[in-house]
Structure 1
Amino acid sequence: MFVAKDYSDIPAWVVAIYPIAVLILGALGFYVTYFFLIKEKHFAAIAQVIGSVTAALFLVTIGWDGTGYKRLLYAGTGTDWANGLVYPLTDFFTSPVSSTLMWLEALALIPYAFIFIKWARENKAT
């Protein structure tokens, strides 16, 4: 976030390739986990998932220049960032980025909750 000053600074090919790369890497992660589960290498499957999430968290919080966490938790706009405007950390929790992250997390956790409940009921029956 906020590396480019506005949308015209981002090349069109980056915008086009990014979602394709996300889909390909996501599918690859599912395939690798599935492969480990089929081979009954449960520890490797769990390690793959945890490693992937850890790598993503590292990229978001550190970034390529060590300021990823500052950009992630910034409450202002790209223009504010470029102008050096500083916001208190507490403003992040009322920012559009925070709202977006909360909604995305809710959308991800609801299906996981149903899957977990189903899994728990199936294992309780055995």
Structure 2
Amino acid sequence: MLQVDVFWVYGIGAMAATAAGRQLAELGKAKASFKEATPFGSKYFALLLLYLSLIFVPEALWLTWNFPHWETMHLVGSLEEIPAWGIVLSAVGDIAVAVLGYWVAYKLLSRGKLYAAHLQWVLGYFLFFFVLTCGWDGRGWERFMYDPTVKGGVPWTPGTHMGPLDFATSRVALTLYAMALPTILPLVVWGYRWLKEGFLLQKLPPEKASARAAAGVGFYFAGVGMALLSAAVVTLLIHFLSSPLGLPLAYALGFLIFLPPVYLLGLKKGRPLHLAFKKYFLTD
């Protein structure tokens, strides 16, 4: 979906920079100062651009062409309703925001704010899942769970959604299954290889570097799962608060209830998430 892709690619860009954090630091040292080194002159950035241009953006365009209603979260009913500049802006925007995520994470790494660099991809994935589950009107998950191509072209309306089994066999879902491997596999492969390269730079034995890299990839998946769970909790809070308070106040109060304990108990330095990052990644 176009509205969630911008947050997804931000997370992907930040992931790329953090996975190659040790190597980027070494490249910076070779250029006298990490702070003055360019973030774009490396194979890691080149591979990120190749992934976006050859896999991610073409998949988004494919979904827009075949399922314009679903891909736009049902803001339009047909491809003809999307202006040409909107398609171009979406494609360019995905690449630009991914580069932004990479650049922000790189800059934080260069300033020694290693934990903050990793939190960039956690934030990107949290916003990705939040828009997917809640959206701007509390109905993000309903929009996701509706494929009008198997409902006789009947447009989505608020309160309408398909059952899990029905949606799981819909044309949209089958297309997503086909795209899953080419979308996820490159991220897993580069995450493992780049983390392993970094551990080898630390003079770890190859076997230990491989094991640590595999654990690091697993932690990336765990972080994405944590972002999904967090987004689901906030969505539920907003859902229960929206009836008595109205949607705008429910959004504000939902985040006010959720964020302080999450920060104090999980995100703050010395808390479980920070300690886990410190174990598996290059962190402060």
Where 2:155 maps in the other structure, the secondary structure is: helix
- Rounded to whole Å, the distance in 1 between the matches of 2:168 and 2:188 is 25
Q: Taking structure 2 as the reference length, what is the TM-score of the superposition?
A: 0.39
Encode CA deviations 1:86-114: one digit per residue, 9 max, x unaligned: 63221111122223333333223212332
5+ unaligned residues in a row in structure 1: which ranges? none
Q: Which amino acid aligns with 2:147?
A: A
Q: Which amino acid aligns with 1:80?
A: V
Q: Taking structure 1 as the reference length, what is the TM-score of the superposition?
A: 0.79
Where 1:2 maps in the other structure, the secondary structure is: coil
- Rounded to whole Å, the distance in 2 between the matches of 1:70 and 1:55 is 17
- Rounded to whole Å, the distance in 1 between the matches of 2:187 and 2:86 is 31
Encode CA deviations 1:62-121: one digit per residue, 9 max, x unaligned: 222222211112133383234897632211111222233333332232123323443347
8 Å CA contact 1:74–1:92 kept in 2: the answer is: yes
Encode CA deviations 1:19-60: one digit per residue, 9 max, x unaligned: 111111111011111112222322101111110111122122
- Rounded to whole Å, the distance in 2 between the matches of 1:83 and 1:25 is 30
Q: Give the equivalent residue in structure 2 for 1:72.
A: 144
Q: Give the equivalent residue in structure 2 for 1:17.
A: 89
8 Å CA contact 1:74–1:89 kept in 2: the answer is: no
Q: Give the equivalent residue in structure 1 for 2:180.
A: 105
What aligned pairs does 1:1-126 form with structure 2 within 5 A after superposition? Answer: 1-77=73-149, 79-82=153-156, 87-118=162-193, 119-120=195-196, 123=199, 124-125=204-205
More displaced 10-residue stretch of structure 1: 17-26 or 32-41: 32-41
Does the C-alpha gap of structure 1 residues 6 and 116 become closer, same or farther in structure 2, counting only changes over 3 Å?
A: closer
- Rounded to whole Å, the distance in 2 between the matches of 1:116 and 1:82 is 38
Q: Which amino acid aligns with 1:15?
A: I
Does the C-alpha gap of structure 1 residues 12 and 68 become closer, same or farther in structure 2, counting only changes over 3 Å?
A: same
8 Å CA contact 2:145–2:163 kept in 1: the answer is: no
5+ unaligned residues in a row in structure 2: which ranges? 1-72, 210-284
The runs of 4+ residues in structure 1 deviating greater than 4 Å are: 82-86
8 Å CA contact 1:73–1:92 kept in 2: the answer is: yes
8 Å CA contact 2:146–2:156 kept in 1: the answer is: no
Q: RMSD of aligned C-alpha atoms?
A: 2.6
Q: Which amino acid aligns with 2:117?
A: A
More displaced 10-residue stretch of structure 1: 109-118 or 75-84: 75-84
8 Å CA contact 1:75–1:97 kept in 2: the answer is: yes
Aligned length: 126
